[in-house]
Amino acid sequence: MTADFFANQRFKQLDVSCLAAETRFAFTIDVEEWFQVGAFETTFERSKWSSLESRAKTQTTILLELLAALNIKATFFTLGWIAEKFPETLKEIVAGGHRLACHGMDHQRLYKMTQTEFAEDIQKAKGLIEQHSQTSVVGYRAPSFSLTPEVWWVYEELEKAGFGYSSSLYPVKTDHYGALNAPRTAFHPIDGSDILEIPMSVCDLPLKRLPASGGGYFRLLPYFLSKYMLEKAKRQTRTPSIFYMHPWELDTDQPYIKSAPRLSRFRHYTGQAGLPDKLTQLSKSFKWAPVEEIYAPLLNGSSERQQC
């Protein structure tokens, strides 16, 4: 279904040429606990979460300090779960000059929810983040990039809940996520609606398309390759690339879960110690800004909105 859904190119009409001159890239962070990640979803039952060591507050503070030192401003896609438990963390994020966005309530993959459950999930999460940060939230990112054609109604609910954009599609196929044939540049997923989907960055190489937006790959690959892919993605799409990471990736003291599958452990722990150095290099290679600033020309309600 996925290939057919995107094959008629009906989503590729949006003119994004006004972003071609933009020299900044978008820096994004998904704020969640180390045990809520997709790689551990078969290891920890949700009912056990409350017994696990919470580290998100400290991890986010450490990341905020590093971003301040590197002069990087970002969008923090935050779980409602985090907003409820650590309202002061949201205030810290805003005080650092960053933007808050929504990552859902508790990291449930979208296809595990009904439309009604999803509507409740985002309304609750958005409400908590806005209430505790006193800022308005317009951005959304699906947990584990789980937005697929099968749950396209997600966009209707996002629009109803007052979101302006989603950055949830990854136009690549991995064993874990992806919507291979999705557009690579921002588009309107619903006809006649202003809501935008801003896809993650991918890089087309002669034989293969690779994810270029960081995540685990940024820790696993040598820095020059990540830099090359971010640059190439920008050249191929003539729009700014998007980078993403998580606060837990910097935390080398987090519990090591021997009982997790080998691949999950590899994904989660490899390259953590080298991450601060790589982020420093990233801050020197590119200029960074929150999604909301870079995409202001295309976002409904933005004072900078313009026609491309």
3-state secondary structure of 54: coil
Residue 15 CB, shortest distance to Zn ion, in Å, is 31
**Residue listed under structure tokens 């933007």:** 99
Closer to Zn ion by CB, 32 or 106: give it. Answer: 32
Q: Cα separation of 167 and 184, whole Å?
A: 11
Window of 53-61, 115-123, 136-144, 291-299 that interacts with Zn ion by CB under 5 A: 136-144
Closer to Zn ion by CB, 36 or 241: give it. Answer: 36
Q: What is the per-residue binding string for Zn ion in 162-191, x denoting contact by CB under 5 A?
A: ------------------------------
Q: Candidates 19, 28, 30, 183: give the one binding Zn ion (CB under 5 A).
A: 30
Q: What is the per-residue binding string for Zn ion in 32-61, x denoting contact by CB under 5 A?
A: x-----------------------------
Per the CB < 8 A criterion, the answer to whether 99 and 291 are in contact is yes
C-alpha angle 4/104/125, rounded to 5°? 140
Closer to Zn ion by CB, 143 or 164: give it. Answer: 143
Residue 32 CB, shortest distance to Zn ion, in Å, is 5
Closer to Zn ion by CB, 138 or 245: give it. Answer: 245
Q: Judged by CB under 5 A, does residue 249 bind Zn ion?
A: no
Closer to Zn ion by CB, 96 or 143: give it. Answer: 143
Distances (CA, A) of 257 to 181, 204, 254, 275, 305: 35, 35, 9, 20, 47
Main-chain dihedrals φ then ψ at residue 277, nearest 5 degrees = -60, -45
Closer to Zn ion by CB, 22 or 32: give it. Answer: 32
Do strands 202-204 and 209-211 pair parallel, antiparallel, or not at all (unpaired)? Answer: antiparallel
3-state secondary structure of 93: helix
Residue 137 CB, shortest distance to Zn ion, in Å, is 16
Window of 117-125, 139-147, 173-181, 228-236 that interacts with Zn ion by CB under 5 A: 139-147
Q: Cα separation of 198 and 101, whole Å?
A: 14
Residue 79 CB, shortest distance to Zn ion, in Å, is 8
Residue 143 CB, shortest distance to Zn ion, in Å, is 5
Window of 141-149, 202-210, 216-224, 291-299 that interacts with Zn ion by CB under 5 A: 141-149
What is the three-state SS of 283-306?
Answer: HHHCEEECHHHHCHHHCCCCCCCC
Per the CB < 8 A criterion, the answer to whether 62 and 251 are in contact is yes
C-alpha closest to that of 98 among 55, 57, 65: 65
Q: Cα separation of 101 and 308, whole Å?
A: 25
Number of residues that bind Zn ion (CB under 5 A): 3
Residue 163 CB, shortest distance to Zn ion, in Å, is 17
Q: Cα separation of 207 and 218, whole Å?
A: 21
C-alpha angle 49/255/43, rounded to 5°? 50
Window of 22-30, 40-48, 60-68, 204-212 that interacts with Zn ion by CB under 5 A: 22-30
Residue 145 CB, shortest distance to Zn ion, in Å, is 9
Binding site for Zn ion (CB under 5 A): 30, 32, 143
